[in-house]
Amino acid sequence: MGEDHLDQSIDSNEIAEENNFLPSSISDEEKGELFRELTTILSRKWTKDKVTVFGCSELDLLLATRFDVQTLRETIEEYKLFVQILGLKVIDYDMDGEKWYCLRSSNYAPSDLQSSELIVLGTIIAYLESDNQKPITTEKIKEKLVVTGRMKEYLVDNSLRILTRLGYIKKKQNAWEYNYRTYIEFGNEERDKIVEEFRRI
């Protein structure tokens, strides 16, 4: 992660005078400042390696706060209770083997996607949630959407590019799989509902 997106990150000198201390030793004023900075950092939307990402990696939070891992995670758990009152939710997700955190509304609804992109993503989710449908190739998606006349081929190709850029899906060895953002925006219950709707098509 570059340094530019953390230009307003937590000033560790204001939060702590030594590296490893428990959250209980932080004053209320310091804790309030820390939580405000976390809200700013975890709400950020930026671009990493041409993919839209949200929030901050655990490693960068450790560097910014100078906490140890246990202290940071305890602080994040306390912060979750704090933002819950505001109708917000802290989501942790994996990106390339690294833990990340981001903030979203408890009543979040995806706003970046057009109907064609939602259809393609819904198709991928339905296939990936069914073990007998793997691997999910572009050809398989087009068989479902293009061959049956539901979508034009160029719309499918364009939707796949957009979903990749926005961090919903990624391609590995010629097969599509979830990227971090699908897990953030579509929990197990939502994905199960998509599978049920897909079976009716």
Q: Please report which helix (H) or strand (E) contains residue 178, including its range.
A: strand 175-178
Q: What is the pLDDT of residue 18?
A: 36
Let me know: does 1 contact 47? Beta carbons within 8 Å. Answer: no
* 3-state SS string for 131-170: HHHCCCCHHHHHHHHCCCCCCCHHHHHHHHHHHHHCCCEE
Q: 160 or 200, which is more confident? A: 160
Show the domain range for 81. Answer: 4-105
Please tell me the total number of residues recorded for the chain in this structure: 201
The pLDDT tens digits of the residues spanning 82-134 come to 888 878 889 888 888 899 999 887 665 555 788 899 889 999 998 998 866 67
* 20 and 77 fall within a common domain: yes
pLDDT at 138 over 90: yes
Same domain assignment for residues 54 and 146: no
Q: What is the pTM of this model?
A: 0.63
Percent of the residues in the chain that have a pLDDT greater than 90, as a whole number: 35
Residue that is last in its domain, among 105, 123, 154: 105
Q: Which of 81, 105, 129 is the last residue of a domain?
A: 105
Q: Which residue has the higher pLDDT, 115 or 159?
A: 159
**Are β-strands 169-172 and 45-48 bridged in parallel, bridged antiparallel, or unpaired?**
unpaired
| Mean pLDDT value across the chain | 81
- Diameter of the chain by CA atoms? 64
What pLDDT was estimated at residue 93? 87
Same domain, 49 and 98: yes
Q: Is the peptide bond before 110 cis (omega within 30 degrees of 0)?
A: no
Clarify whether residues 9 and 93 are in a common domain.
Answer: yes
142 and 186 share one domain: yes
Convert the pLDDT of each residue in 50-70 to its tens digit. 888 889 999 999 999 889 999
The string of DSSP letters for 64-114 reads HH---HHHHHHHHHHHHHHHHTTTEEEEEEEETTEEEEEEEETT----S--
- The domain tally of the chain equals 2
Which of residues 195 and 165 earns the better pLDDT score?
A: 165
CATH number at residue 182: 1.10.10.10
Please compute, for residue 84, the number of CA atoms within 13 A of its CA located in the half-sphere on the CB side. Answer: 7
Residues 91 and 9 in one domain: yes
Task: Report pLDDT for 7.
Answer: 42
